[in-house]
Amino acid sequence: MSRSSDQITTAQAAVIIINYMLGAGILTLPRTAVTASNSPDVWISVLLSSLLILLAGFVIVKLCRRFPGQTWFQFVPQITGKAIAFLISLITIGYLLTISAFELRVMAEVTGMFLLEGTPMWAIVMTFMWVGLYLTTGGIGSIARLFEIILPITLVIFIITFSLSSGLFEINNLRPVLGSGVIPVLLGMRSTTLAFAGFEIMLIIMAFMSSPQKGMKAVTWGTIVPTFVYLVALVMTIGGLSLGGVKVATWPSLDLIRSFEIQGLIFERFESLLLVIWIMQIFSTFTITHYAASLGWSQLFDKNIRPFLFMMLPVIFLIAVIPKNISELFMLGQIVGNVSVYLFGTLPFFLLIISKIRRKGETSN
C-alpha cells in the first residue's frame, strides 16, 4: 500500500510542475523582463520562452523514458559513470537547495514588508519551514495532493484580482508592438526563460508517475498554465503601470493591485488576497525543492529520506540568510536561474545523446 501511495497521476505531475514554476516570478517577472528588454514586447518573449521550455521538457521526458522508475540521481551514473554523476548530483542538490532558500527569503522579505512589519524574520521563516517539513514527511503523494488543493485557489484568486485591475489598463502602454524590432524580445527572453525554471522537476517526478508514457502531456500542461499566468501578469502590469512604472517597482504586480480600490465590495484592496495565494505558491515551490534535494541525498547514499528532510532545514535557512539585502537576493536569483539553464536546458540533451550512443537504458517505442 505504501508503494502505491507514492505513485502520482499525470494531472498531479502537471500540477507539481505548475506550482513549482509559479513562485517568486509572479511578483518580480514584469520588472526583470522589462529591465532586460526595455520594451513592452516582453509578452512575446514569454511565448517564445515557453516554446523553448517545451523543447527542453521534451528532451527531459525522452531521457527519463529510457530509465523508467528511476530519478535523475539514479540514472545519471549509468550514463556518465559514478564520479561525474556524483558531481552532477551534488550540483543539482545545491541548485535545488538554493532555489528553496531563495524562495524562502523572498517570501520572508515580502511578508515582512507588507504583512508583518516588525516581526522578526526567524519567526516567519521557522513557521513556514516547519509546516513545509510536516508536509514533505508525507512523501510525494501528499505533496502532490496538497498542490492540487492550492492550484485552483491560486488560479481563481489570481484571475479575479488581475481582472479587477482592468480599470487601470491602458492599451497604449503596450504599443507599439515590435516597435524597436526583434532584438528587445530576444533580450527579454533572458529573464522570461528564468521564470520558467521548474520544468526540471520532471527529472525526479517522472519516476513516480503511474503512467510515464504521458510525461509529455504533463510537461505541456505544466508549461501552458504558467505561460498564461505570466502573460496575464505581464500584460496587465505593463498596461496598468506603464513601462517606466514597472521598472522602478520592486514588486510590480503587487504595486498594480495596491494601486486601485473598488468601492462597494467587502474588500476595497486586493493585495491581501494576492499575497495569500502568492505565499501558498512560494510554499509549494519551497516544499517540492526541499523534498527533491532531500530525495537526492537519500538516493545518493541509499538511505531513508527522513533524516535528510530534517537536516536540510538548517542548510536552507543558512543559505537563505546569506544575501544581505534585496538586491543581493535578486542577484542570487539571477545566478540560480542561469545555472538552471545550463544544468537542465543543455545537460539533459547531451546525456540523451550519450545514452543513445552508449546504448544505456531502455530504447522506448
Q: Which residues bind another protein (CB under 8 A)?
A: 1, 8-9, 11-12, 111, 115-116, 119, 122-124, 126-131, 133-135, 138, 142, 144-146, 148-150, 261, 266-269, 271-272, 275-276, 279-280, 283, 310-311, 313-314, 317-318, 321-322, 324
Is 324 or 359 the residue whose CB approaches another protein more closely? 324
Cα distance between residue 32 and residue 192, in whole Å: 8
Shortest CB 137 distance to another protein, Å: 8
**Which alpha helices (DSSP H) does the chain contain, by range?**
2-5, 10-21, 25-37, 42-65, 72-80, 82-110, 121-136, 139-164, 183-195, 202-205, 215-248, 252-258, 271-301, 306-320, 326-340, 347-357
Q: Which is nearer to another protein, 182 or 318 (CB)?
A: 318
CB nearer to another protein: pick between 169 and 317: 317
Q: How far is the CB of 330 from another protein (least distance, A)?
A: 16
CA distances from 215 to 24, 130, 222, 224 (A): 26, 31, 10, 14
Closer residue to another protein in complex, CB, 51/149 = 149
Q: Minimal distance in Å, beta carbon 15 to another protein?
A: 8
Rounded least distance, CB 131 to another protein, Å: 5
To the nearest whole angstrom, how small is the minimum distance from the Cβ of residue 207 to another protein? 17
Nearer CB in complex with another protein: 171/266:
266
For 353, residues 6+ apart whose C-beta sits below 8 A from its C-beta are none
For residues 222-241, one letter each, b for 16 or more C-beta atoms within 10 angstroms of the residue's C-beta and e for the rest, the string is bbebbbebbbbbbbbbbbbb
